[in-house]
Structure 1
Amino acid sequence: MTIVCLIRHGETDWNALGKIQGKTDIPLNAAGTQQARQCGAYLTASDWDLIITSPLQRARQTAEIINETLGLPFVEMDEFVEKHFGDAEGLTFKERAFTFPDRHYPNQEDNGSFSERLATGLEIINDCYLDKRVLLVSHGGVINAILGKLSDGEIGSGKTRLLNACLSHIHFDENNWIIRNYNQVSHLEKSMSER
């Protein structure tokens, strides 16, 4: 059985300000670096075979910090880059609501293409790493889209607010991806209570 732990990247300054990032390449801030360290410490208790990451620096930095303690083979996959939100990137929720009240952002990536890209990525993981335990560091939009697809819309995009550095587990069994859990943050409780 192929098992994937989906990890949302740690916090960035834009996350803290409520700005949508998309493909804009923003680094982790100090809180995000600490969250990544806590993920790494928590994940040492389980055996993992490899770590896959989006190439955007907030995800890649998170994966690199996690991997400092795990020492796993490291793979970048473009299929798991965040959705491009076009003209809305860099805007806060309030700014987006005012500028684009219909939530149609000019020049954004088409939802169909986005979903297809993610499905291709999961297929590649299952084909290349069958029966492996995979850490996949990516983005809120990516993970929510995957969760939405696998739950037939019960959770995910528009319904679930994924926290930075949260963990969600899926596994491939009997020709289907199944959600085990999502948006797990117990490994971050100490840092969250200190804020």
Structure 2
Amino acid sequence: MTRLIVWRHGNTDWNAADRVQGQTDVPLNDLGREQAAAAAPLLAALRPDAIVASDLSRAADTAAALAALTGLPVRADARLRERHFGRWQGLARTEAAERYPDEYARWRAGDPDPGADIESLDDLGKRVGTALQDAADAVPGGTVVVATHGGGARQGCGHLLGWDHGVLRSIGPLQNCHWTELRHNDARGWHLRAHNVGLITRAAPAEVV
């Protein structure tokens, strides 16, 4: 049985300000570093065999907190980056709504390809899902912790599970420094074992990307 722990990064100032990060490289803030340090012992207790992270610093530095406890190296994978939010990146959510009202309305309604040069959910799911599968394939029967991003985690896990966008919209978003656990065996394939696991800490709104 292979176990995949898909871990969202800690808090950033842009999370706290409700600003669209996307693939902008925004670092962890003090709260984010606190969250990563608090979560790391829980994940270390799962005895991971490998750690993989998005190459964006907020995910890489979150993974580093676990690496410091386990002694494992962190392998970077750019495919684990957050959804690219096109013309919205760097804008507050309120600004995105004001400047791109049609696209914002489609995004809020769950349109998988809302425009404004935003990466489609299909492309995001395939990109992150393939990276997750490759991480799992590297340690068959082991436990892999993958530090990534909220939107990417949801779509990547959905890709592995074969869930469509409607199902994924019914799954609550990951809070900062919480994780989803997937398990795989030959009989059942990938299945969801747990979601939004982690310590209850101070956090920004979970849907900010």
Same fold (TM over 0.5): yes
Partner of 2:183: 171
**Among residues 117, 140, 151, which one is paired with 1:107 in the alignment?**
117
Check 1:23–1:114 CA distance in 2 against 1; reply closer, same or farther (3 A cut): same
With 132-141 and 84-93 compared, the bigger mean Cα shift is at 84-93
CA distance, structure 2, for counterparts of residue 111 and residue 152 of structure 1: 10
Give the counterpart of 2:129 among 113, 119, 128. 119
Change (3 A) 1:160 1:148: farther
Contact 1:50–1:133 (Cα < 8 Å) also in 2? yes
Q: Offset of 1:112 from its aligned partner?
A: 2.7
Tell me how far 1:122 sits from its aligned partner: 2.6
Asked if residue 82 in structure 1 is aligned to residue 94 in structure 2, the reply is no
How far the C-alpha of 1:70 sits from its partner, in A, is 1.6
- Residue 162 of structure 1: CA displacement? 1.8
Unaligned runs of 5+ in 1: none
Aligned to 2:143: 133
Task: Tell me which moved more, 77-86 or 4-13.
Answer: 77-86
Stretches of 4+ aligned residues off by more than 3 angstroms:
151-159
SS of residue paired to 1:192: coil
Q: Percent identity?
A: 32
For 2:38, the aligned partner's letter is: Q
Structure 1 residue 153, shift from structure 2 partner = 4.2
Partner of 1:73: 73
Displacement of 1:130: 1.2
Work out which of the residue numbers 178, 181, 184 in structure 1 matches 2:194: 181
- Superposition deviation, residue 127 in structure 1: 2.5
Q: CA RMSD in A?
A: 2.0
Separation of aligned partners in 1, 2:38 and 2:168: 24
Partners of 1:49 and 1:133 within 8 A in 2: yes
1:8-23 equivalence runs, <5 A? 8-23=8-23
d(CA) in 1 for partners of 2:137, 2:175 = 29
Rounded Cα–Cα distance in structure 1 between residues aligned with 2:2 and 2:122: 25
Q: CA deviation at 1:119?
A: 2.7
- Name structure 2 gaps, 5 residues minimum: 105-113, 204-209
Q: How many residues were matched structurally? A: 190
